[in-house]
Amino acid sequence: MPQLPMVASLPPGPYYGALAEFATPADLYHACEQVRDAGYRRWDAHTPFPVHGLDRAMGMRRSPMPFIVLGMALLGAAAGFGLQYWVHSVEYPLTISGKPYFAWPAYVPITFELGILFGSLGAVFGMLGLNQLPMHWHPLFSSAPFEKASDDTFFISIESWDPKFEPEKTRQFLQGLGARRVELVASE
Amino acid sequence: MPPEAEAAVLDNPVDRRPELILRSPTFKAITDAVVDPIEKPTPLGWWFFFLPAVALLGLLGVAVSWLFWEGIGIWGLNVPVGWAWDITNFVFWVGIGHAGTLISAILYLLRQRWRTSINRAAEAMTIFAVMCALLFPGIHVGRVWVAYWMFPLPNQMGTWPNFRSPLLWDVFAVSVYGTVSALFWYVGLIPDLATMRDRAKTKIRRIAYGIFALGWRGSNRHWSNYESAYLLLAAMSTPLVLSVHSIVSMDFAVSQLPGWHTTIFPPYFVAGAIFSGFAMVITLMVICRTAFKLEHIITIRHFDYMAKVILLTGSMVGYAYGMEFFTAWYSGNPYEMFTFTNRALGPYAWAYWTMISCNVLFPQVFWFKRARTSIPILFLLSILVNIGMWFERFVIIVTSLHRGFLPSSWGYFRPTIWDVSCLLGSFGLFFTMFCLFVRFVPMVATAEVKTVLPQADPHYQPGRGHAFGAGHTETV
């Protein structure tokens, strides 16, 4: 199933979407399976900790993080090796304790370290970029119960620009999945 | 729970995996246990640790200022011993900094779920230890205003650093390690900072924690990238942590000096680093779990595991001590043999035998479960191990230097008050940072601890007891 990109702008209309509250990871897991099977596409689960297997229950694709990190790590290693080669063979050739200018075994540690450095920066900033963070304002933060999403409560949000979203129908659908409580969140 | 009862939980690990977190808390109880102490007014006991630490930090400021003013002659350095406590302290602190990444990264890759209770504090400890470590190479150059020569920066002299030197590898290894450790720690903190933001009672706290929480809203689409990034960071930190102390050891091993020029150094240094780092984690956790009433999250079982790591790495270090003597004898090189005889029987024999006692002999008590589960013994041993590991670096550095090839230039290093001030001051820096950390940041990774509770499993059914992983390998 194609995933719609997460876009950092507001959906049109009075509602951001519907927000359903669940008590346990098990309730959330089964509800997610049903939201997925009902064909919703622009929706999300919110949990205080990563729930094992929820990606599959939501029908999500694998994260593209490994490719970003691999690319950055190779770039860092190439930059590290290139810097050392350039300094000792091109820009500033100087004989020190009889070592050759192009002493490639001696370049291995710094090549490795810079590969790790770039890869790690790629992991952190790649993750933030894919997640569109930092985003300090979000319509969901206007919901008081949503504060517990970082403590002990589990949520499903279905956004109003999902093609299948209809305020009342979506609310009843979520209620039917065993939600403790469902609310419609305003756009602003 | 009294220690004996907790120790009983350790028994019978085959039939049943005992729960990692005691007292079967709810998710909310975990948040409350960790976050409440940060939200309450500062307890008096905190000042007991913080004020002496700040006083020592002030001492560091005085010592370093005098050093910059007067030069490294204020230390007890002399002609054969041109490197002493400065580099001893550097290697000591870098070594301590290794446990954090070991716990965070290697135990994560090995799926050691017990790490979740201690990884946050151990990572913080790593960052502060690396800060202390980076201080010493920075100040020991004497002319601190030209410290930028260590980095490949274009400059008016048209010069570049020598990348074929292990000292430059070290600059890169330690600064990359510090950066990656800080990133790893911060990424782990983001969900907990969001918890702090959502619980904040005042606007200032909400904004302060909110800025650093980056607008985290626990989205599973975010968790998916987050967990992938975290796993990749762990996968990259694992070879990184092993490389860092290997490269530190090459500062010595690549030189031609008897006592330094040996291929056993990289694995020997890495084992020693993990050994001392775990000891420091035990020292800090013994204090913190009592002070913050986290005995059910940081349990006796965690200490039992850490003591086993100490026993293992301590024995590896002991093996390396023995092997160094064997290699010196087997080499047939009279200078090499003399250096090692001189280490054990020469003027620094007192330091050598302090090292052997603290690092090899005393940790043997950890063969006994009673010692591994006794808080007073753990606390005492953890401090002895760190004393021993400081002496190990002192012994390697100073005994190899003080009697070189030419007997007419033999000498003896004595520390001055400024050597002592710099060492004590670095402890001031470390404990000041750690006190601020436990005061303002959740010292246990609550989001991660929640994942090891049985009810975190989406297939958990109440009433079926401890069912985590039921049907998977753990019950086989």
Residues B443-470, mean pLDDT to the nearest whole number: 75
Distance, in Å, from the CA atom of B302 to the CA atom of B308, rounded to the nearest integer, reads 10
Contact B57, B432 (CB under 8 A): yes
Residues B247-252, mean pLDDT to the nearest whole number: 93
Measured between CB atoms, does A151 come within 8 Å of chain B?
Answer: yes
Measured between CB atoms, does A23 come within 8 Å of chain B?
Answer: no
Chain B contacts of A62, Cβ < 8 Å? 224, 228
Query: Listing from the earlier edge strand, what are the strands of the sheet with A181-186?
Result: A43-46, A154-159, A15-22, A181-186
- A window 1-20, beta carbon within 8 A of B: 6
Give the tokens for residue B90: 């550097």
Give the tokens for residue A89: 């063979």
* Residue B472's pLDDT band (cuts 50, 70, 90): very low
Domains in chain A, please, with CATH? 16-48+152-186 (3.30.70), 65-130 (no CATH)
The partner residue sitting opposite A150, judged by closest CB among B195, B225, B237, is B195
Packing angle of the helix pair B220-253, A65-85 (nearest 10 deg):
30
Q: Which residue has the tokens 């990656």?
A: B180
Residues 6+ apart with CB under 8 A from B61: B425
* Residue B12's pLDDT band (cuts 50, 70, 90): very low
Q: Express as a percent the part of chain B with pLDDT over 70.
A: 93
* Residue A36's pLDDT band (cuts 50, 70, 90): very high
Give the pLDDT of residue A167.
87
Stretch (H or E) spanning A44: strand A43-46
- Kindly state which CATH superfamily the domain B20-456 is placed in: Formate dehydrogenase/DMSO reductase domain (1.20.1630.10)
The partner residue sitting opposite B31, judged by closest CB among A26, A146, A151, is A151
Give the tokens for residue A92: 């500033």
Which of A57, A27, A144, A20 minimizes the C-alpha distance to B223? A57
Distance, in Å, from the CA atom of A61 to the CA atom of B35, rounded to the nearest integer, reads 34
Q: Which residue has the tokens 């509250």?
A: A21
The partner residue sitting opposite A44, judged by closest CB among B195, B219, B456, is B219
* φ and ψ at residue B208, rounded to 5 degrees: -65, -50
CA B81 to chain centre: 28
CB contact under 8 A, A63 and B179: no
Task: Classify B239 as helix, strand or coil.
Answer: helix
Least confident of A18-32, B110-124, B209-223, B460-474: B460-474
Residue/partner pairs of B105-110 with CB below 8 Å, 24 or more apart: B105/B184, B105/B233, B105/B234, B105/B235, B105/B237, B105/B238, B105/B241, B106/B234, B106/B238, B106/B241, B108/B230, B108/B231, B108/B234, B109/B231, B109/B234, B109/B235, B109/B238
The partner residue sitting opposite A117, judged by closest CB among B164, B176, B210, is B176
Residues 6+ apart with CB under 8 A from B319: none
Q: Would you say residue B49 has pLDDT above 80?
A: yes
Packing angle of the helix pair B334-345, B349-356 (nearest 10 deg):
80
Q: Would you say residue B467 has pLDDT above 70?
A: no
Between β-strands A15-22 and A43-46, what pairing exists: parallel, antiparallel or unpaired? unpaired
* Residue A157's pLDDT band (cuts 50, 70, 90): very high
CA B216 to chain centre: 29
Query: Which sign, positive or negative, has the C-alpha torsion A101, A102, A108, A114?
Result: positive
Measured between CB atoms, does A126 come within 8 Å of chain B?
Answer: yes
Contact B339, B258 (CB under 8 A): yes
Which amino acid is located at B152 in the chain?
A: P
> From the CA of B207, how many Å to the nearest CA of chain A?
10
Distance, in Å, from the CA atom of A145 to the CA atom of A181, rounded to the nearest integer, reads 10
CB atoms inside a 10 Å sphere around CB B139:
19
Distances (CA, A) of B20 to A48, B37, B163, B279, B301: 19, 22, 47, 21, 8
CB contact under 8 A, B224 and A63: yes
Using one digit for the tens of pLDDT, what is the confidence trace for A102-114? Answer: 999 999 999 999 9
Using one digit for the tens of pLDDT, what is the confidence trace for B260-312? Answer: 999 999 999 999 999 999 999 999 999 999 988 888 888 898 999 999 999 99
Distance, in Å, from the CA atom of B64 to the CA atom of A8, rounded to the nearest integer, reads 49
Residue/partner pairs of B345-350 with CB below 8 Å, 24 or more apart: B346/B399, B346/B403, B347/B402, B347/B412, B348/B395, B348/B398, B348/B399, B348/B402
Distances (CA, A) of B73 to A7, B141, B147: 61, 12, 18
Chain A contacts of B113, Cβ < 8 Å? none
Provide the b/e sequence for B189-220 (b: ≥16 CB within 10 Å): bbbbbbbbbbbbeeeeebebbbebbbbbbbbb
* Residue B147's pLDDT band (cuts 50, 70, 90): confident
Domain layout of chain B by residue ranges: 20-456
Residue B255: closest CA among chain A residues belongs to which residue?
Answer: A97
Q: Which residue has the tokens 């999902």?
A: A162
Model pTM score: 0.90
Residues B326-336, mean pLDDT to the nearest whole number: 93
The partner residue sitting opposite A51, judged by closest CB among B228, B458, B461, is B458
Interface test with A, best of B228, B444, B449 (most A CBs within 10 A): B228
Interface test with B, best of A4, A49, A81 (most B CBs within 10 A): A49
Give the number of A-B residue pairs with CB atoms closer than 8 Å. Answer: 213
The alpha-carbon radius of gyration of chain B (Å, integer) is 24
Number of residues that this document lists for chain A: 188
CB contact under 8 A, A136 and B159: no
Chain B contacts of A134, Cβ < 8 Å? 214-215
* Residue B356's pLDDT band (cuts 50, 70, 90): very high
CB contact under 8 A, A140 and B217: yes
DSSP tag of B219: B
CB contact under 8 A, B232 and A119: yes
Packing angle of the helix pair B166-199, B203-213 (nearest 10 deg):
140
- A window 42-81, beta carbon within 8 A of B: 44-55, 57-58, 60, 62-63, 65-66, 69, 73
Distances (CA, A) of B290 to B53, B295, B386: 19, 7, 21
Assembly ipTM? 0.92
Give the pLDDT of residue B471.
40
Kindly report the average pLDDT of chain A as a whole number.
90
Give the tokens for residue B49: 């640790």
Using one digit for the tens of pLDDT, what is the confidence trace for B184-193? Answer: 999 999 999 9
